[in-house]
């Protein structure tokens, strides 16, 4: 004989019509206990009412609409990797050409920057020549490029540290180094195959 009232999970077992080991004493209890019998009946009414409700399914576009309003933080290295993957051509030959062109451009830019850095007169001359408006446009273009490559969140961080220019310079240098290494490796494997 069970001398305590039923627990909520035991009432669930009875409402669900479970027939496992241990249910028989619960049934015996509700036959003797009006209080528990009433609780089981109440639970059954609620379950029946829930069952009779129409079954709604969310709109298939719900997830997209919600996510469109959720600011997702993309780490800078992930955004950079995705950008590179998106811009790289699919075929191996075109990719080699793209790396070669990218290496040349990055190399030329780096050389130009080194040259400019050693020629303070030239820098003064060029910035005087460009004027404020052109300089603003160049800065805006650099900002757009950084946003496209790294994402807005990374740029905010960069601006916070005030190191955008230095970072772009380092990025160009890094691209040059990576491109050169990749090109040399490609040449080496091509030579071995031939």
**Is residue 175 a contact residue for Zn ion (CB under 5 A)?**
no
**Per CB under 5 A, which region of 8-16, 25-33, 137-145, 185-193 contacts Zn ion?**
25-33
Out of 11, 14, 15, 36, name the contact with Zn ion by CB under 5 A.
36
Residues 6+ apart with CB under 8 A from 87: 98
**Is residue 5 a contact residue for Zn ion (CB under 5 A)?**
yes
CB 100 within 8 A of CB 187: no
**Is residue 33 a contact residue for Zn ion (CB under 5 A)?**
yes
Burial 6-22 (b: 16+ CB within 10 A, else e): beeebbebbbeeeeeee
**Per CB under 5 A, which region of 5-13, 61-69, 160-168, 173-181 contacts Zn ion?**
5-13
Using CB under 5 A as the binding rule, the residues of this chain from 84 to 113 that contact Zn ion are: none
From CA 163, how far away is CA 169, in angstroms rounded?
10
**Per CB under 5 A, which region of 30-38, 41-49, 72-80, 162-170 contacts Zn ion?**
30-38
CB 146 within 8 A of CB 169: no
Binding site for Zn ion (CB under 5 A): 5, 33, 36
């Amino acid at each position: 004989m069970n001398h305590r009232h039923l627990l909520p999970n035991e009432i669930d077992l009875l409402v669900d019509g479970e027939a496992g080991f241990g249910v028989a004493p619960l049934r015996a209890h509700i036959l003797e206990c009006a209080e528990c019998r009433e609780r089981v009946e109440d639970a059954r009414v609620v379950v029946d009412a829930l069952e009779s409700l129409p079954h709604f399914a969310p709109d298939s576009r719900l997830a997209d609409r919600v996510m469109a309003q959720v600011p997702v933080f993309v780490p800078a290295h992930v955004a950079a990797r995705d950008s590179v993957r998106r811009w790289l051509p699919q075929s191996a030959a075109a990719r080699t050409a793209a790396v070669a062109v990218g290496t040349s451009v990055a190399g030329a830019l780096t050389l130009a920057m080194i040259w400019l850095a050693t020629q303070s007169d030239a820098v003064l001359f060029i910035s005087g020549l460009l004027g404020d408006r052109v300089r603003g446009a160049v800065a805006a273009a650099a900002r757009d490029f950084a946003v496209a490559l790294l994402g807005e969140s990374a740029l905010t961080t960069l601006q916070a540290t005030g190191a955008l220019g230095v970072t772009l310079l380092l990025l160009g240098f890094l691209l040059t180094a990576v491109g050169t290494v990749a090109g040399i490796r490609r040449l080496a494997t091509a030579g071995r195959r031939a």
